A and B are shown apart, each in its own frame.
Chain A
Amino acid sequence: MKTYAKKDVSRRVMTLNMGPQHPATHGVLRIELELEGETIVKATPIIGYLHTGVEKHSETKTYYQNIVMYDRLDYIAPAMNNMSYIGAVERLLGIEAPPRAKVIRVILLELSRIKSHLVWLATAAHDTGAMTVLLYCFREREAVMKLYESLSGARMMQSWICPGGLRGDIPDGWTTMIKAFLDEFPARIKEYRALLERNPIFLKRVKDIGYISREEAIAYGLSGPSARASGVNYDLRRNRPYEGYNDYDFEVPVLTDGCAYARYRVRMEEMIQARSIILQALEKLPNGPVRAEHPVFLAPPREGIHENMETLIKHFKFFTSGFKAPAGEVYFATETGKGELGFYIISDGSEKPYRVKIRAPSFSNLSILPRIAPGHMLSDIVAIIGSLDIVLGEIDR
Protein backbone atom coordinates (compact mmCIF):
# COMPACT_ATOMS: atom_id res chain seq x y z
CA MET A 1 0.00 0.00 0.00
CA LYS A 2 1.27 3.43 -0.92
CA THR A 3 1.60 5.95 1.84
CA TYR A 4 1.48 9.66 1.38
CA ALA A 5 4.35 11.78 2.54
CA LYS A 6 4.18 13.27 5.98
CA LYS A 7 6.06 16.37 4.87
CA ASP A 8 4.76 19.86 5.36
CA VAL A 9 2.27 19.88 2.52
CA SER A 10 1.65 23.61 2.63
CA ARG A 11 5.26 24.33 1.58
CA ARG A 12 4.90 22.40 -1.64
CA VAL A 13 4.79 24.17 -4.94
CA MET A 14 1.77 23.26 -7.00
CA THR A 15 1.57 23.73 -10.74
CA LEU A 16 -1.74 24.98 -12.05
CA ASN A 17 -2.70 25.58 -15.64
CA MET A 18 -4.86 28.63 -16.06
CA GLY A 19 -6.47 28.60 -19.47
CA PRO A 20 -6.53 28.33 -22.43
CA GLN A 21 -10.30 28.10 -21.86
CA HIS A 22 -10.42 30.31 -18.80
CA PRO A 23 -12.79 33.25 -19.37
CA ALA A 24 -10.54 35.73 -17.58
CA THR A 25 -7.65 35.15 -19.99
CA HIS A 26 -9.49 37.06 -22.73
CA GLY A 27 -9.03 34.55 -25.50
CA VAL A 28 -6.76 31.56 -25.62
CA LEU A 29 -3.94 32.40 -23.27
CA ARG A 30 -2.52 29.71 -21.02
CA ILE A 31 -0.58 30.61 -17.91
CA GLU A 32 1.43 28.00 -16.09
CA LEU A 33 1.23 29.06 -12.48
CA GLU A 34 3.40 27.73 -9.72
CA LEU A 35 1.60 28.23 -6.47
CA GLU A 36 2.70 28.02 -2.88
CA GLY A 37 -0.59 27.83 -1.12
CA GLU A 38 -2.48 30.57 -2.84
CA THR A 39 0.55 32.76 -3.57
CA ILE A 40 2.02 32.82 -7.05
CA VAL A 41 5.69 31.87 -7.16
CA LYS A 42 6.10 31.82 -10.91
CA ALA A 43 3.86 32.62 -13.86
CA THR A 44 4.74 31.54 -17.39
CA PRO A 45 2.44 32.71 -20.17
CA ILE A 46 2.14 30.21 -23.00
CA ILE A 47 0.90 31.75 -26.21
CA GLY A 48 0.47 30.64 -29.80
CA TYR A 49 -2.95 28.98 -29.68
CA LEU A 50 -4.28 31.56 -32.12
CA HIS A 51 -1.20 31.63 -34.35
CA THR A 52 -2.40 31.87 -37.94
CA GLY A 53 0.77 32.90 -39.72
CA VAL A 54 -0.41 36.37 -40.68
CA GLU A 55 3.14 37.54 -41.38
CA LYS A 56 3.70 34.61 -43.73
CA HIS A 57 0.39 35.21 -45.52
CA SER A 58 1.30 38.87 -45.97
CA GLU A 59 4.20 37.87 -48.20
CA THR A 60 1.89 36.03 -50.61
CA LYS A 61 -0.74 38.74 -51.12
CA THR A 62 -0.61 42.14 -52.77
CA TYR A 63 -0.60 45.35 -50.77
CA TYR A 64 -4.34 45.82 -51.27
CA GLN A 65 -5.32 42.23 -50.54
CA ASN A 66 -3.53 42.41 -47.18
CA ILE A 67 -5.77 45.15 -45.78
CA VAL A 68 -8.72 42.97 -44.80
CA MET A 69 -6.47 40.40 -43.14
CA TYR A 70 -5.15 42.89 -40.61
CA ASP A 71 -8.68 43.73 -39.43
CA ARG A 72 -8.60 40.40 -37.64
CA LEU A 73 -5.49 41.10 -35.53
CA ASP A 74 -7.02 43.27 -32.85
CA TYR A 75 -10.62 42.34 -33.48
CA ILE A 76 -11.85 44.69 -30.76
CA ALA A 77 -10.90 47.81 -32.74
CA PRO A 78 -10.21 46.91 -36.39
CA ALA A 79 -10.00 50.50 -37.70
CA MET A 80 -6.78 50.99 -35.72
CA ASN A 81 -5.10 48.07 -37.46
CA ASN A 82 -6.16 49.44 -40.85
CA MET A 83 -4.65 52.80 -39.99
CA SER A 84 -1.28 51.39 -38.95
CA TYR A 85 -0.88 49.27 -42.06
CA ILE A 86 -2.25 51.85 -44.47
CA GLY A 87 -0.13 54.59 -42.92
CA ALA A 88 2.94 52.44 -43.54
CA VAL A 89 1.90 51.70 -47.13
CA GLU A 90 1.17 55.38 -47.79
CA ARG A 91 4.61 56.35 -46.56
CA LEU A 92 6.17 53.67 -48.72
CA LEU A 93 4.30 54.81 -51.82
CA GLY A 94 4.62 58.51 -51.01
CA ILE A 95 0.92 59.37 -51.18
CA GLU A 96 -1.19 61.39 -48.81
CA ALA A 97 -4.88 61.38 -48.01
CA PRO A 98 -6.94 64.55 -48.63
CA PRO A 99 -7.84 66.69 -45.57
CA ARG A 100 -11.46 65.54 -45.36
CA ALA A 101 -10.40 61.91 -45.31
CA LYS A 102 -7.89 62.61 -42.55
CA VAL A 103 -10.55 64.17 -40.32
CA ILE A 104 -12.96 61.27 -40.90
CA ARG A 105 -10.10 58.86 -40.15
CA VAL A 106 -9.56 60.58 -36.81
CA ILE A 107 -13.27 60.19 -36.03
CA LEU A 108 -13.11 56.49 -36.89
CA LEU A 109 -9.95 55.95 -34.85
CA GLU A 110 -11.27 57.71 -31.77
CA LEU A 111 -14.59 55.84 -31.98
CA SER A 112 -12.49 52.67 -32.09
CA ARG A 113 -10.57 53.81 -29.05
CA ILE A 114 -13.83 54.33 -27.16
CA LYS A 115 -15.02 50.92 -28.31
CA SER A 116 -11.77 49.23 -27.34
CA HIS A 117 -11.77 50.81 -23.88
CA LEU A 118 -15.44 49.93 -23.39
CA VAL A 119 -14.74 46.26 -24.05
CA TRP A 120 -11.76 46.43 -21.73
CA LEU A 121 -13.81 48.08 -18.98
CA ALA A 122 -16.64 45.59 -19.37
CA THR A 123 -14.42 42.51 -19.17
CA ALA A 124 -11.96 43.81 -16.60
CA ALA A 125 -14.75 44.87 -14.27
CA HIS A 126 -16.52 41.57 -14.84
CA ASP A 127 -13.35 39.68 -13.93
CA THR A 128 -13.04 41.57 -10.67
CA GLY A 129 -16.58 40.95 -9.57
CA ALA A 130 -18.48 43.98 -10.85
CA MET A 131 -20.94 42.20 -13.09
CA THR A 132 -23.32 45.02 -13.97
CA VAL A 133 -20.76 47.17 -15.77
CA LEU A 134 -20.50 44.57 -18.53
CA LEU A 135 -24.09 45.10 -19.60
CA TYR A 136 -23.82 48.90 -19.41
CA CYS A 137 -20.60 48.99 -21.48
CA PHE A 138 -21.90 46.68 -24.16
CA ARG A 139 -24.91 48.94 -24.54
CA GLU A 140 -22.61 51.84 -25.52
CA ARG A 141 -20.44 49.56 -27.61
CA GLU A 142 -23.55 48.61 -29.53
CA ALA A 143 -24.15 52.29 -30.26
CA VAL A 144 -20.62 52.59 -31.73
CA MET A 145 -21.18 49.45 -33.80
CA LYS A 146 -24.41 50.95 -35.13
CA LEU A 147 -22.43 54.00 -36.22
CA TYR A 148 -20.00 51.75 -38.11
CA GLU A 149 -22.86 49.79 -39.60
CA SER A 150 -24.57 52.89 -40.94
CA LEU A 151 -21.26 53.99 -42.45
CA SER A 152 -20.12 50.82 -44.18
CA GLY A 153 -22.66 48.07 -43.64
CA ALA A 154 -20.25 46.07 -41.51
CA ARG A 155 -20.39 46.18 -37.76
CA MET A 156 -16.80 45.26 -37.01
CA MET A 157 -14.41 44.59 -39.91
CA GLN A 158 -15.35 47.54 -42.06
CA SER A 159 -11.91 48.27 -43.64
CA TRP A 160 -13.24 51.72 -44.46
CA ILE A 161 -9.78 53.27 -44.38
CA CYS A 162 -7.82 52.50 -47.54
CA PRO A 163 -4.61 53.81 -49.12
CA GLY A 164 -5.16 57.39 -50.27
CA GLY A 165 -8.16 58.09 -48.08
CA LEU A 166 -11.41 56.28 -47.48
CA ARG A 167 -13.51 53.84 -49.46
CA GLY A 168 -16.36 56.33 -49.60
CA ASP A 169 -17.78 59.44 -48.06
CA ILE A 170 -19.88 59.45 -44.89
CA PRO A 171 -23.65 59.06 -45.30
CA ASP A 172 -26.10 61.88 -44.66
CA GLY A 173 -26.97 62.37 -41.03
CA TRP A 174 -23.98 60.38 -39.78
CA THR A 175 -22.51 63.34 -37.93
CA THR A 176 -25.84 63.93 -36.18
CA MET A 177 -25.84 60.30 -35.05
CA ILE A 178 -22.34 60.64 -33.62
CA LYS A 179 -23.27 63.87 -31.86
CA ALA A 180 -26.31 62.21 -30.30
CA PHE A 181 -24.08 59.39 -29.04
CA LEU A 182 -21.41 61.75 -27.71
CA ASP A 183 -23.96 63.96 -25.97
CA GLU A 184 -25.12 61.14 -23.75
CA PHE A 185 -21.66 59.58 -23.32
CA PRO A 186 -20.41 61.67 -20.33
CA ALA A 187 -23.51 60.64 -18.36
CA ARG A 188 -22.73 57.01 -19.18
CA ILE A 189 -19.15 57.36 -17.95
CA LYS A 190 -20.53 58.85 -14.75
CA GLU A 191 -22.65 55.71 -14.39
CA TYR A 192 -19.62 53.41 -14.76
CA ARG A 193 -17.70 55.49 -12.24
CA ALA A 194 -20.56 55.34 -9.76
CA LEU A 195 -20.73 51.57 -10.17
CA LEU A 196 -16.99 51.01 -9.77
CA GLU A 197 -15.33 53.76 -7.78
CA ARG A 198 -17.71 53.39 -4.84
CA ASN A 199 -17.57 49.62 -4.98
CA PRO A 200 -15.28 48.43 -2.16
CA ILE A 201 -14.84 44.97 -3.70
CA PHE A 202 -13.62 46.37 -7.00
CA LEU A 203 -11.32 48.89 -5.30
CA LYS A 204 -9.78 46.27 -3.02
CA ARG A 205 -9.10 44.00 -5.95
CA VAL A 206 -7.37 46.58 -8.18
CA LYS A 207 -5.70 49.08 -5.84
CA ASP A 208 -1.94 48.44 -5.42
CA ILE A 209 -2.19 45.30 -7.52
CA GLY A 210 0.30 44.58 -10.31
CA TYR A 211 2.64 47.48 -9.64
CA ILE A 212 4.89 48.41 -12.57
CA SER A 213 7.58 51.02 -12.09
CA ARG A 214 8.50 53.49 -14.85
CA GLU A 215 11.89 51.81 -15.47
CA GLU A 216 10.27 48.39 -15.74
CA ALA A 217 7.61 49.67 -18.11
CA ILE A 218 10.27 51.07 -20.45
CA ALA A 219 12.58 48.06 -20.16
CA TYR A 220 9.79 45.60 -20.93
CA GLY A 221 8.54 47.63 -23.87
CA LEU A 222 5.16 48.56 -22.49
CA SER A 223 3.18 51.10 -24.46
CA GLY A 224 -0.21 52.72 -24.41
CA PRO A 225 -2.33 53.24 -21.28
CA SER A 226 -0.45 50.50 -19.40
CA ALA A 227 2.78 52.46 -19.76
CA ARG A 228 1.19 55.84 -19.12
CA ALA A 229 -0.22 54.60 -15.83
CA SER A 230 3.39 53.99 -14.77
CA GLY A 231 4.53 57.51 -15.57
CA VAL A 232 5.78 57.04 -19.15
CA ASN A 233 4.73 60.29 -20.79
CA TYR A 234 4.62 59.05 -24.37
CA ASP A 235 1.76 59.04 -26.83
CA LEU A 236 2.35 58.56 -30.54
CA ARG A 237 -0.57 60.85 -31.34
CA ARG A 238 1.26 63.72 -29.66
CA ASN A 239 4.94 62.72 -30.06
CA ARG A 240 4.82 61.54 -33.68
CA PRO A 241 1.57 63.06 -34.97
CA TYR A 242 -0.16 61.36 -37.87
CA GLU A 243 -3.42 62.22 -39.66
CA GLY A 244 -3.25 65.78 -38.33
CA TYR A 245 -3.45 64.85 -34.64
CA ASN A 246 -1.26 67.88 -33.87
CA ASP A 247 -4.19 70.15 -34.83
CA TYR A 248 -6.39 68.79 -32.07
CA ASP A 249 -6.40 69.99 -28.52
CA PHE A 250 -6.30 67.00 -26.19
CA GLU A 251 -4.56 65.85 -23.05
CA VAL A 252 -2.55 62.71 -22.53
CA PRO A 253 -3.39 61.39 -19.06
CA VAL A 254 -0.29 60.21 -17.21
CA LEU A 255 -0.27 58.73 -13.72
CA THR A 256 2.64 57.51 -11.64
CA ASP A 257 0.88 54.97 -9.40
CA GLY A 258 1.56 52.07 -11.76
CA CYS A 259 -1.07 49.76 -10.29
CA ALA A 260 -4.16 48.22 -11.88
CA TYR A 261 -6.32 51.04 -10.54
CA ALA A 262 -4.07 53.65 -12.19
CA ARG A 263 -4.45 51.83 -15.52
CA TYR A 264 -8.20 51.93 -14.99
CA ARG A 265 -8.13 55.68 -14.36
CA VAL A 266 -5.94 56.39 -17.40
CA ARG A 267 -8.31 54.54 -19.72
CA MET A 268 -11.39 56.26 -18.27
CA GLU A 269 -9.74 59.64 -18.86
CA GLU A 270 -8.74 58.60 -22.39
CA MET A 271 -12.35 57.90 -23.27
CA ILE A 272 -13.28 61.45 -22.26
CA GLN A 273 -10.36 62.81 -24.31
CA ALA A 274 -11.41 60.69 -27.30
CA ARG A 275 -14.88 62.21 -27.09
CA SER A 276 -13.42 65.70 -27.09
CA ILE A 277 -11.25 64.88 -30.16
CA ILE A 278 -14.28 63.59 -32.08
CA LEU A 279 -16.25 66.74 -31.24
CA GLN A 280 -13.38 68.91 -32.52
CA ALA A 281 -13.14 66.78 -35.67
CA LEU A 282 -16.86 67.12 -36.34
CA GLU A 283 -16.56 70.87 -36.00
CA LYS A 284 -13.69 71.25 -38.44
CA LEU A 285 -14.83 68.62 -40.98
CA PRO A 286 -13.89 70.24 -44.32
CA ASN A 287 -15.56 69.67 -47.66
CA GLY A 288 -13.80 68.04 -50.56
CA PRO A 289 -12.84 64.61 -51.87
CA VAL A 290 -12.20 61.69 -49.52
CA ARG A 291 -9.83 59.92 -51.85
CA ALA A 292 -6.57 60.98 -53.42
CA GLU A 293 -5.91 60.09 -57.04
CA HIS A 294 -2.87 58.35 -58.41
CA PRO A 295 -2.62 56.58 -61.78
CA VAL A 296 -0.67 53.57 -60.47
CA PHE A 297 -0.80 53.18 -56.71
CA LEU A 298 -4.44 53.94 -55.94
CA ALA A 299 -7.57 52.06 -56.90
CA PRO A 300 -9.32 53.52 -59.98
CA PRO A 301 -12.79 54.94 -59.26
CA ARG A 302 -15.63 52.46 -59.37
CA GLU A 303 -18.04 54.80 -61.11
CA GLY A 304 -17.02 54.08 -64.70
CA ILE A 305 -16.78 50.30 -64.64
CA HIS A 306 -20.30 49.67 -65.92
CA GLU A 307 -19.90 51.94 -68.94
CA ASN A 308 -16.26 51.88 -69.91
CA MET A 309 -14.33 48.74 -70.89
CA GLU A 310 -10.96 50.38 -70.21
CA THR A 311 -11.92 51.29 -66.65
CA LEU A 312 -13.20 47.78 -66.02
CA ILE A 313 -9.93 46.21 -67.17
CA LYS A 314 -7.91 48.66 -65.12
CA HIS A 315 -10.03 47.99 -62.05
CA PHE A 316 -9.78 44.22 -62.46
CA LYS A 317 -6.02 44.28 -63.00
CA PHE A 318 -5.49 46.58 -60.03
CA PHE A 319 -7.20 44.26 -57.57
CA THR A 320 -5.92 40.95 -58.94
CA SER A 321 -2.30 41.62 -59.84
CA GLY A 322 -1.62 44.84 -57.93
CA PHE A 323 1.10 47.36 -58.61
CA LYS A 324 4.86 47.46 -58.28
CA ALA A 325 5.70 49.33 -55.09
CA PRO A 326 9.01 51.19 -54.77
CA ALA A 327 11.73 49.28 -52.93
CA GLY A 328 12.59 50.32 -49.41
CA GLU A 329 11.79 49.83 -45.75
CA VAL A 330 9.26 51.68 -43.67
CA TYR A 331 8.03 51.46 -40.09
CA PHE A 332 4.86 53.23 -39.11
CA ALA A 333 3.18 52.98 -35.74
CA THR A 334 -0.04 54.40 -34.38
CA GLU A 335 -1.38 54.74 -30.87
CA THR A 336 -4.16 52.19 -30.56
CA GLY A 337 -6.26 51.52 -27.49
CA LYS A 338 -3.66 48.95 -26.46
CA GLY A 339 -0.45 50.81 -27.30
CA GLU A 340 2.03 51.15 -30.13
CA LEU A 341 0.88 49.06 -33.09
CA GLY A 342 3.46 49.24 -35.85
CA PHE A 343 3.99 47.69 -39.23
CA TYR A 344 7.55 47.25 -40.49
CA ILE A 345 7.34 46.64 -44.23
CA ILE A 346 10.26 45.63 -46.43
CA SER A 347 9.57 46.09 -50.11
CA ASP A 348 11.78 44.62 -52.82
CA GLY A 349 10.04 46.47 -55.65
CA SER A 350 7.48 43.76 -56.47
CA GLU A 351 3.69 43.64 -56.09
CA LYS A 352 3.86 41.89 -52.73
CA PRO A 353 5.65 42.95 -49.56
CA TYR A 354 8.89 41.05 -49.03
CA ARG A 355 8.46 40.98 -45.27
CA VAL A 356 5.90 42.41 -42.88
CA LYS A 357 6.73 42.51 -39.20
CA ILE A 358 3.82 43.40 -36.96
CA ARG A 359 4.82 45.06 -33.72
CA ALA A 360 1.80 44.27 -31.62
CA PRO A 361 1.30 46.24 -28.39
CA SER A 362 -0.27 43.35 -26.46
CA PHE A 363 2.73 41.15 -27.29
CA SER A 364 5.11 43.38 -25.37
CA ASN A 365 2.54 44.28 -22.72
CA LEU A 366 1.97 40.63 -21.84
CA SER A 367 5.69 39.84 -21.65
CA ILE A 368 5.90 41.72 -18.34
CA LEU A 369 3.50 39.27 -16.67
CA PRO A 370 6.22 36.84 -15.38
CA ARG A 371 7.91 39.86 -13.79
CA ILE A 372 4.93 41.33 -11.94
CA ALA A 373 2.77 38.31 -11.09
CA PRO A 374 4.96 36.56 -8.44
CA GLY A 375 4.01 37.49 -4.91
CA HIS A 376 0.38 38.11 -5.73
CA MET A 377 -2.52 35.89 -4.80
CA LEU A 378 -4.10 33.61 -7.37
CA SER A 379 -7.19 35.81 -7.72
CA ASP A 380 -5.03 38.87 -8.38
CA ILE A 381 -3.71 37.47 -11.65
CA VAL A 382 -7.17 37.92 -13.10
CA ALA A 383 -7.10 41.60 -12.18
CA ILE A 384 -3.56 41.97 -13.58
CA ILE A 385 -4.38 40.43 -16.95
CA GLY A 386 -7.54 42.47 -17.08
CA SER A 387 -5.69 45.69 -16.37
CA LEU A 388 -3.04 45.02 -19.04
CA ASP A 389 -5.78 44.86 -21.71
CA ILE A 390 -4.46 42.19 -24.03
CA VAL A 391 -6.05 40.73 -27.13
CA LEU A 392 -4.71 37.38 -28.25
CA GLY A 393 -5.41 37.97 -31.92
CA GLU A 394 -2.49 40.34 -32.22
CA ILE A 395 -0.23 38.55 -29.75
CA ASP A 396 -0.24 35.28 -31.71
CA ARG A 397 -0.72 36.86 -35.13
Chain B
Amino acid sequence: MHQILDKKPVDILKILMGDSILDSYESQDNVDVAVIDRRNLLYAVGLIRDNPALDLRYLSFIAAIDYLETEKMFHVVYEFVNLDYDSRLRIRIQIPEKEPWVPSITSFYPSANWHEREMMEMFGIEVREHPDPRKLLLPDWVSEHPLRKSFPHGGEELWKFHQRTIEMFNEKSDYQGRTDDPWLERFIE
Protein backbone atom coordinates (compact mmCIF):
# COMPACT_ATOMS: atom_id res chain seq x y z
CA MET B 1 0.00 0.00 0.00
CA HIS B 2 1.44 3.34 -1.03
CA GLN B 3 1.23 5.82 1.78
CA ILE B 4 0.95 8.99 -0.29
CA LEU B 5 -2.01 8.03 -2.42
CA ASP B 6 -3.35 5.27 -0.19
CA LYS B 7 -3.63 3.05 -3.22
CA LYS B 8 -2.03 -0.19 -4.33
CA PRO B 9 0.61 0.10 -7.09
CA VAL B 10 -1.50 -1.93 -9.48
CA ASP B 11 -4.41 0.51 -9.11
CA ILE B 12 -2.13 3.46 -9.80
CA LEU B 13 -0.75 1.67 -12.86
CA LYS B 14 -4.32 1.04 -14.03
CA ILE B 15 -5.09 4.75 -13.79
CA LEU B 16 -1.90 5.61 -15.69
CA MET B 17 -2.10 2.97 -18.39
CA GLY B 18 -5.82 2.35 -18.75
CA ASP B 19 -6.72 -0.35 -21.24
CA SER B 20 -3.10 -1.32 -21.81
CA ILE B 21 -3.37 -3.57 -18.77
CA LEU B 22 -4.88 -6.71 -20.16
CA ASP B 23 -5.59 -8.44 -16.88
CA SER B 24 -4.77 -8.23 -13.20
CA TYR B 25 -5.13 -10.66 -10.34
CA GLU B 26 -3.76 -11.37 -6.89
CA SER B 27 -1.32 -14.21 -6.37
CA GLN B 28 -1.36 -16.64 -3.41
CA ASP B 29 1.17 -14.51 -1.56
CA ASN B 30 -1.04 -11.38 -1.86
CA VAL B 31 1.01 -9.56 -4.49
CA ASP B 32 -0.83 -7.93 -7.38
CA VAL B 33 0.04 -9.18 -10.84
CA ALA B 34 -0.63 -7.05 -13.91
CA VAL B 35 -0.59 -8.68 -17.34
CA ILE B 36 0.53 -6.33 -20.12
CA ASP B 37 1.59 -6.60 -23.72
CA ARG B 38 5.33 -6.72 -24.32
CA ARG B 39 5.12 -3.70 -26.65
CA ASN B 40 4.04 -1.63 -23.66
CA LEU B 41 6.69 -3.07 -21.35
CA LEU B 42 9.25 -0.28 -21.63
CA TYR B 43 6.57 2.37 -21.17
CA ALA B 44 5.21 0.55 -18.13
CA VAL B 45 8.66 0.01 -16.63
CA GLY B 46 9.44 3.71 -17.13
CA LEU B 47 6.29 4.61 -15.20
CA ILE B 48 6.95 2.03 -12.51
CA ARG B 49 10.42 3.33 -11.84
CA ASP B 50 10.12 7.06 -12.37
CA ASN B 51 6.54 8.03 -11.61
CA PRO B 52 6.60 9.48 -8.07
CA ALA B 53 3.31 7.78 -7.26
CA LEU B 54 4.81 4.34 -7.94
CA ASP B 55 8.57 4.75 -7.45
CA LEU B 56 9.33 1.02 -7.45
CA ARG B 57 13.07 1.31 -7.87
CA TYR B 58 14.14 -2.18 -6.86
CA LEU B 59 13.91 -5.15 -9.20
CA SER B 60 13.65 -8.33 -7.22
CA PHE B 61 13.81 -10.94 -9.97
CA ILE B 62 12.90 -11.85 -13.53
CA ALA B 63 11.54 -15.32 -14.18
CA ALA B 64 10.56 -16.89 -17.49
CA ILE B 65 8.09 -19.75 -17.64
CA ASP B 66 7.68 -22.21 -20.50
CA TYR B 67 4.05 -22.79 -21.49
CA LEU B 68 4.88 -23.99 -25.01
CA GLU B 69 3.07 -27.31 -24.67
CA THR B 70 -0.23 -25.90 -23.47
CA GLU B 71 -0.48 -22.30 -24.66
CA LYS B 72 2.35 -22.00 -27.24
CA MET B 73 3.62 -19.14 -25.11
CA PHE B 74 6.41 -18.06 -22.83
CA HIS B 75 5.53 -15.96 -19.83
CA VAL B 76 8.02 -13.56 -18.31
CA VAL B 77 7.47 -12.24 -14.79
CA TYR B 78 9.11 -9.15 -13.31
CA GLU B 79 8.80 -8.24 -9.66
CA PHE B 80 9.31 -4.62 -8.60
CA VAL B 81 9.60 -3.37 -5.04
CA ASN B 82 9.49 -0.02 -3.33
CA LEU B 83 11.84 -0.47 -0.40
CA ASP B 84 10.55 2.53 1.54
CA TYR B 85 6.89 1.49 1.66
CA ASP B 86 7.44 -2.18 0.90
CA SER B 87 4.89 -2.16 -1.89
CA ARG B 88 5.29 -4.84 -4.53
CA LEU B 89 4.06 -5.21 -8.07
CA ARG B 90 4.47 -8.09 -10.44
CA ILE B 91 4.33 -7.62 -14.21
CA ARG B 92 3.59 -10.60 -16.39
CA ILE B 93 4.01 -10.57 -20.14
CA GLN B 94 3.15 -13.24 -22.67
CA ILE B 95 5.37 -14.04 -25.63
CA PRO B 96 4.22 -16.15 -28.58
CA GLU B 97 6.43 -19.11 -29.49
CA LYS B 98 7.08 -17.88 -33.03
CA GLU B 99 8.50 -14.50 -32.05
CA PRO B 100 10.26 -15.06 -28.76
CA TRP B 101 11.62 -11.64 -27.91
CA VAL B 102 11.28 -9.12 -25.13
CA PRO B 103 12.75 -5.63 -24.83
CA SER B 104 15.63 -5.27 -22.42
CA ILE B 105 14.94 -3.29 -19.24
CA THR B 106 18.62 -3.13 -18.27
CA SER B 107 18.74 0.59 -19.07
CA PHE B 108 16.14 1.14 -16.34
CA TYR B 109 17.28 -1.50 -13.88
CA PRO B 110 20.98 -2.49 -14.07
CA SER B 111 20.20 -5.55 -11.93
CA ALA B 112 18.13 -6.94 -14.83
CA ASN B 113 21.35 -7.48 -16.77
CA TRP B 114 22.22 -10.92 -15.41
CA HIS B 115 18.62 -12.04 -15.03
CA GLU B 116 18.04 -11.31 -18.73
CA ARG B 117 21.23 -13.07 -19.77
CA GLU B 118 20.13 -16.12 -17.82
CA MET B 119 16.70 -15.98 -19.45
CA MET B 120 18.27 -15.77 -22.92
CA GLU B 121 20.41 -18.88 -22.55
CA MET B 122 17.99 -20.97 -20.50
CA PHE B 123 14.82 -20.35 -22.56
CA GLY B 124 16.05 -19.06 -25.90
CA ILE B 125 14.12 -15.83 -25.52
CA GLU B 126 15.79 -13.00 -27.40
CA VAL B 127 16.26 -9.91 -25.26
CA ARG B 128 16.41 -6.99 -27.66
CA GLU B 129 19.00 -4.26 -27.20
CA HIS B 130 20.66 -6.00 -24.30
CA PRO B 131 24.05 -4.35 -23.67
CA ASP B 132 25.93 -7.62 -23.12
CA PRO B 133 24.14 -10.61 -24.69
CA ARG B 134 26.71 -13.29 -23.82
CA LYS B 135 25.98 -16.55 -22.06
CA LEU B 136 25.99 -16.30 -18.30
CA LEU B 137 25.96 -19.74 -16.70
CA LEU B 138 26.38 -22.05 -19.69
CA PRO B 139 29.49 -22.48 -21.84
CA ASP B 140 29.50 -20.62 -25.15
CA TRP B 141 29.20 -23.73 -27.31
CA VAL B 142 25.88 -24.94 -25.88
CA SER B 143 23.10 -24.13 -28.31
CA GLU B 144 20.23 -25.84 -26.47
CA HIS B 145 18.03 -24.14 -23.91
CA PRO B 146 17.95 -26.34 -20.80
CA LEU B 147 15.00 -24.88 -18.91
CA ARG B 148 12.58 -25.42 -21.78
CA LYS B 149 10.22 -28.28 -21.09
CA SER B 150 11.34 -29.97 -24.31
CA PHE B 151 14.90 -30.33 -22.98
CA PRO B 152 15.40 -33.79 -21.45
CA HIS B 153 16.02 -34.13 -17.74
CA GLY B 154 17.35 -37.65 -17.80
CA GLY B 155 17.64 -40.84 -19.79
CA GLU B 156 19.13 -41.48 -23.19
CA GLU B 157 18.35 -38.08 -24.64
CA LEU B 158 20.33 -36.30 -21.96
CA TRP B 159 23.23 -38.67 -22.57
CA LYS B 160 23.12 -37.76 -26.26
CA PHE B 161 23.17 -34.09 -25.29
CA HIS B 162 26.28 -34.67 -23.18
CA GLN B 163 28.05 -36.40 -26.05
CA ARG B 164 27.05 -33.64 -28.44
CA THR B 165 28.37 -31.06 -25.99
CA ILE B 166 31.72 -32.81 -25.69
CA GLU B 167 32.05 -33.00 -29.48
CA MET B 168 31.18 -29.33 -29.80
CA PHE B 169 33.75 -28.51 -27.16
CA ASN B 170 36.47 -30.41 -29.00
CA GLU B 171 35.58 -28.66 -32.24
CA LYS B 172 35.23 -25.14 -30.94
CA SER B 173 37.71 -24.88 -28.10
CA ASP B 174 40.77 -22.82 -28.90
CA TYR B 175 43.26 -24.62 -26.69
CA GLN B 176 45.14 -25.97 -29.74
CA GLY B 177 45.72 -22.83 -31.76
CA ARG B 178 47.57 -20.55 -29.39
CA THR B 179 49.73 -19.02 -32.14
CA ASP B 180 47.00 -16.69 -33.42
CA ASP B 181 46.01 -15.56 -29.95
CA PRO B 182 45.44 -11.79 -30.19
CA TRP B 183 46.52 -11.40 -26.60
CA LEU B 184 50.01 -12.73 -27.35
CA GLU B 185 50.36 -10.70 -30.52
CA ARG B 186 50.30 -7.47 -28.56
CA PHE B 187 53.75 -8.15 -27.20
CA ILE B 188 55.42 -8.94 -30.52
CA GLU B 189 55.82 -6.53 -33.39
Closest A residue to B135 by beta carbon equals A48
Among residues 54 to 84 in chain B, which have CB atoms less than 8 Å away from a CB atom of chain A?
57-61, 63, 65-66, 77, 79, 83
Segment with Cβ contacts to B, from A185-193, A304-312, A339-347: A339-347
Closest B residue to A53 by CB, please name it: B146
Binary contact readout A1-36 vs B (1 if CB under 8 angstroms, 0 otherwise):
011110000001001000000000000000000000
Any B CB within 8 A of the CB of A51: yes
| Closest Cβ–Cβ distance, residue B36 to chain A (whole Å) | 16
Taking a contact as CB atoms under 8 Å apart, the answer to whether A359 and B60 are in contact is yes
Interface size on A, as a range, is 35 or more
Check B189 against A15 for contact (C-beta < 8 Å). Answer: no
Identify which of A77-85, A95-103, A104-112, A328-336 touches chain B: A328-336
Once the chains bind, are B29 and A367 in contact (CB under 8 Å)? no
Decide yes or no whether A205 CB sits under 8 A from chain B: no
Contact-size category for B: 35 or more
Cβ of A41 to closest chain B Cβ, rounded Å: 15
Q: Which of A54-62, A142-150, A290-298, A382-390 contacts B (4 or more CB under 8 A)?
A: A54-62
A270 CB within 8 Å of chain B = no
List 12 other contacts, CB 8 Å, given A5-B188, A48-B137.
A2-B188, A56-B146, A60-B154, A88-B29, A219-B109, A220-B110, A220-B111, A329-B77, A330-B29, A331-B61, A331-B90, A332-B29
Q: What are 27 A-B pairs at a CB distance below 8 A? A: A3-B189, A4-B187, A5-B189, A48-B137, A51-B137, A55-B147, A57-B153, A60-B154, A88-B29, A218-B83, A220-B110, A221-B59, A234-B86, A240-B86, A329-B27, A329-B77, A330-B28, A331-B31, A340-B60, A355-B65, A355-B66, A357-B77, A364-B114, A367-B110, A367-B111, A367-B113, A367-B114
Closest 8 A/B residue pairs (Cβ): A221-B111, A357-B63, A48-B137, A359-B61, A330-B28, A234-B83, A328-B28, A239-B86
> Which B residues contact A (CB, under 8 angstroms)?
27-29, 31, 33, 57-61, 63, 65-66, 77, 79, 83, 86, 90, 109-111, 113-114, 135-139, 146-147, 149, 151, 153-154, 183, 186-189
